[in-house]
């Protein structure tokens, strides 16, 4: 007996499942037939959903692209960079004279010995001088005395010639590397600049290379369009001191930047007066802020796209209400033939969701097509988030359900006797 009851229950469950499948299939077919009967109205109703869904995908894509570009731009100033700066404090010398408590090359060496994970480092001496190219031609320049590792610290690209090396620094060779805009201003092109000679305070210098930042820094680094880089030991000729206001360190692992900055600060601080102030600047905070700005902007623009979807949802509801009014007699005939209120409600709700989801699908495909085409046809890579498609389609479905409920309930509540009298 128990076995027979179980078999009967299983049979009834299978029957219910088959009936549900048949009802849904019939309902979907009725929705498709309704769209075919009024193609223009259906397309116009879907237009708002198409625009809204495409907007969501494109807005998220623009936000991701902007975030990626901002991060690449900032990172180009020096990947994993820790910039130590002297901020204040003095030492008392002979005759009670106070002098700034600058950092030294010994501080740099001490840090490199004590802090693991440092890939490159470079001190920087900064001074301004006029360079003379003969025949009375002079040009003001920003001279930066740096080590050969400065090229890697600042992620410079050498566009002509070479960067000076350790041998040049040890031998105090009078060589320099010009920043590309300066080389073009002086000699017309980067290639023409290599091998040229000019003098600074009567000392002849030979241009051995021309370099540039890989991505524009928007004025955020110490490099200007009139910069000449020279070996640090040679730069001391112009200052007469071994004091350093800035030392750059590059960590191998970006995860070590924050902890490395703290260690570097403690070591340098311990080698100077307690009242002296040294600050470590990193790109971590800047990158986080840029990411937050890009994300916030994406949220705002996505909210605007959601408004478009809501407005299109109102359009779907109005269209479906008009559709119910135009099909009152059809609804009465279906009810007379045995259709339940639930089946009528499901029919019109399915039509609304199909309209909304169809528009969302078309809009999502159009929104994805643009960035994917750019990535495929050009060398530019446009990041595309699959979540933007999921959000667009989910929102389209939700809008169809919400704004299709009222027309569906109105159709289901119609009295079959009254509907059959309707002309």
- Among residues 282, 302, 335, the one where a domain terminates is 282
Which pLDDT does position 420 carry in this prediction? 65
Specify whether 236 is located in the same domain as 169.
Answer: yes
Is residue 241 domain-shared with residue 313, that is, in the same domain? no
Task: Report the mean per-residue pLDDT for the chain.
Answer: 81
User: Looking at the domain assignment, is residue 147 inside a domain?
Assistant: yes
Query: Is the model's pLDDT at 423 over the cut of 80?
Result: no
pLDDT of residue 92: 59
d(CA 152, CA 149): 5
Let me know whether 362 and 269 are in one domain: no
- Residue 248's SS3 state is strand
- Give the C-alpha distances (Å, rounded to integers) separating 233 from 172, 193, 238, 242: 6, 23, 10, 9
How far apart are the C-alpha atoms of 146 and 162, rounded to whole Å? Answer: 15
The model carries a pTM of 0.59
Q: Which of 211, 213, 229 is nearest to 175 (CA)?
A: 229
Nearest to 151 by CA among 174, 115, 128, 179: 179
Which residues span the domain enclosing 230?
81-282
Residues 42 and 94 in one domain: no
What's the confidence (pLDDT) of residue 179? 93
Assign 131 to helix, strand or coil: strand
Same domain, 256 and 124: yes
295 with 222, same domain: the answer is no
Predicted pLDDT at 231? 94
Backbone angles phi, psi at 353, to 5 degrees: -65, -40
4 lies in some domain? no
Residue with tokens 């000019």: 198
What distance, in Å, lies between the first and last C-alpha atoms of the chain?
Answer: 56
Q: Give the pLDDT mean for 38-60.
A: 79
């Amino acid at each position: 007996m128990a076995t027979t009851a179980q078999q009967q229950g299983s049979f009834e469950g299978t029957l219910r499942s088959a009936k549900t499948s048949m009802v849904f299939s019939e309902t979907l077919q009725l929705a498709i037939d309704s769209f075919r009967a009024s193609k223009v109205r259906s397309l116009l109703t879907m237009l708002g959903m198409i625009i809204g869904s495409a907007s969501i995908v494109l807005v998220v894509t623009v936000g991701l692209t902007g975030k990626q570009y901002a991060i690449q731009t900032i990172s180009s100033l020096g990947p994993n960079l820790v910039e130590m700066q002297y901020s204040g404090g003095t030492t008392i010398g002979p005759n009670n004279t106070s002098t700034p408590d600058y950092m030294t090359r010994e501080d740099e060496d001490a840090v490199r010995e004590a802090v693991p994970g440092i890939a490159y480092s470079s001190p920087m001496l900064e001074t301004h001088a006029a360079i003379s190219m003969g025949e009375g031609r002079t040009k003001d320049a920003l001279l930066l005395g740096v080590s050969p590792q400065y090229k890697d610290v600042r992620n410079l690209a050498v566009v002509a010639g070479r960067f000076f090396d350790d041998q040049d620094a040890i031998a105090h060779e009078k060589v320099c590397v010009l920043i590309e805009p300066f080389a073009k201003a002086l000699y017309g092109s980067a290639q023409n600049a290599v091998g040229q000679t000019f003098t600074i305070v009567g000392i002849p210098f030979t241009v051995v290379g021309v370099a540039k930042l890989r991505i524009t820094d928007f004025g955020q680094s110490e490099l200007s369009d009139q910069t000449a880089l020279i070996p640090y030991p040679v730069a001391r000729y112009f200052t007469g001191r071994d004091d350093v206001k800035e030392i750059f360190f590059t960590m191998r692992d970006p995860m070590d930047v924050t902890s490395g900055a703290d260690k570097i600060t403690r070591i340098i601080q311990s080698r100077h007066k307690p009242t002296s102030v040294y600050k470590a600047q990193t790109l971590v905070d800047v990158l986080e802020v840029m990411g937050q700005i890009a994300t916030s902007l994406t949220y705002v623009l996505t909210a605007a796209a959601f408004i478009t979807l809501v407005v299109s949802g109102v359009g779907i509801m109005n269209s479906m209400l008009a559709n119910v009014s135009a099909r009152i007699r059809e609804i009465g005939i279906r009810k007379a033939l045995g259709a339940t209120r639930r089946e009528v409600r499901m029919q019109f709700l399915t039509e609304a969701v199909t309209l909304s989801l169809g528009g969302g699908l078309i809009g999502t495909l159009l929104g994805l097509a643009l960035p994917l085409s750019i990535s495929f046809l050009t060398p530019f890579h446009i990041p595309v988030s699959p979540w933007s498609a999921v959000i667009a389609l989910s929102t389209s479905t939700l809008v169809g359900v919400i704004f299709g409920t009222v027309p569906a309930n109105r159709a289901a509540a119609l009295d079959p006797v009254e509907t059959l009298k309707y002309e």
